[in-house]
Structure 1
Amino acid sequence: MKALLLKDFYTLIKQIKIYIILILIFASIPGYSIAAIAMVYAAMLPITALAYDERSKWNSLALMMPYSDGSIVGSKYVLGYIAVACAALLSIAAQIVMSLIKNTAFEIEGIVSVILVACVATVMLAVNLPFMFKFGVEKGRLAFFALIIIMTGAGMLLGDGLAGFLSESYVNIVTAMFAAVVFTLVINLISIAISIRIYKKRV
């Protein structure tokens, strides 16, 4: 799978440098709404990688290589997880730096907010990828863009207000974060299983 990830990484770096730079910039700007946008954009990178695979007829070439269906499909999910995690870590680092500059305490709710938005981004990825493997990137764009609009809007609405809600809520924030992470994990495991089954039928 490492080789597959490197393939996608080199392809993305070569083709969409500006897009990746924008994700890094958005993730580095203090503010949870901007961080939400960065993580949603990061979750879109596997879709872009799939589009380049389709154009280059990669699936036909992959049949002659010693890669399992699980590795090929799983590499796209792992690519998305790495991208979202990098955006989340940059966002947390930016919030910490801003707190140090302003000489204010960095609240744990800030980290929880970023983690919850990262969960939303990875759930979006989990919902999207089976459609892309089933219909292809071009035919799956309608469902893709509809989901992006919904998730981006939700992320922007929830981003700045999430930390305030958590600080005022009686719900234990650790419990809320744990529940969100478990839900995200379950959805992604189901999505991976569906995508592998779809991919086997396509090839």
Structure 2
Amino acid sequence: MKGLLLKDWYQVRTSMKAMCLTVAFVLVIWVFSTSNAYVFPVSYAAVFLGILPINLLAYDHASGWTEYSFALPLSKELQVAEKYLIGLFCAAAAVVIGGLFITVISLRTGTTPDKDVLSLLAGSVCAILLINGIMLPLYYRFGAEKARMLYMLMFAGMGAALGGGAVMDELQQNGTGSGPLPVPLWLAAVLLLAVLVLYALSWRLSVQWYGKYKK
């Protein structure tokens, strides 16, 4: 497992540095802006973190790693679990980055974060796990090329949702709208638990489909 994680870490450093820097740039620019809204930048960072495991799997397919892995003393369960573990790492990173970002915005503006912050962070985790829970099995079964269309549709949908969140942020800041509807913490917790269950089932499906994308 450590070797697999190290392999993907090298891949992130070499091939996905620009994407990570773009997310950092957006967050830094937002901190120095006059806006005290935070739904859009937090969700933006979560979406880009969420697609890391999918991109890593696409690189594995393109480089021939999947075929090469059959010659290694590594089980399918372990190799698939590594990608899903990266998804969990990305979800944890989204919570940490989002929490720090909201704290910085609050200190800069002298305001107190509202009670919906925890629901927002829980929503970020759910979004990341859902993206990977849906797309990873499709990538394992059909490969990057065949799954790309659905991937683009999902990414476009997430972009539209982020755009709507930015508009609602602006309306809430200007006092011309009620802002996003608050989500009770108990409901956010139930949704998060349901997504975790689906994530585990997705892993089992990916194990069954491992290596079948060329068949």
TM-score, scaled to structure 2: 0.82
Aligned to 1:153: 160
Tell me how far 1:60 sits from its aligned partner: 2.1
Aligned to 1:86: 93
Aligned to 2:111: 104
Change (3 A) 1:130 1:20: same
Aligned to 1:10: 10
Counterpart Cα distance in 2 of 1:11 and 1:163: 39
Counterpart Cα distance in 2 of 1:125 and 1:17: 20
Change (3 A) 1:96 1:6: same
Tell me how far 1:202 sits from its aligned partner: 5.6
1:49 aligns with 2:65: no
Question: SS where residue 165 of structure 1 aligns?
Answer: coil
List aligned pairs for 1:125-140, cutoff 5 A: 125-140=132-147
Unaligned runs of 5+ in 1: none
Cα deviation, 1:22-61, whole Å, max 9, x if unaligned, reads: 2334456452112212211111111211122112211122
Aligned to 1:176: 187
Indicate the percent of aligned positions where both proteins have the same amino acid.
25
Counterpart Cα distance in 2 of 1:141 and 1:68: 26
TM-score, scaled to structure 1: 0.87
Unaligned runs of 5+ in 2: 32-37, 170-177
Tell me how far 1:185 sits from its aligned partner: 0.5
Change (3 A) 1:119 1:104: same
Two-structure CA RMSD over aligned residues (Å): 2.3
Question: SS where residue 107 of structure 1 aligns?
Answer: coil
Is residue 139–residue 213 contact of structure 2 (8 Å, CA) maintained in 1? no
Counterpart Cα distance in 1 of 2:96 and 2:202: 24
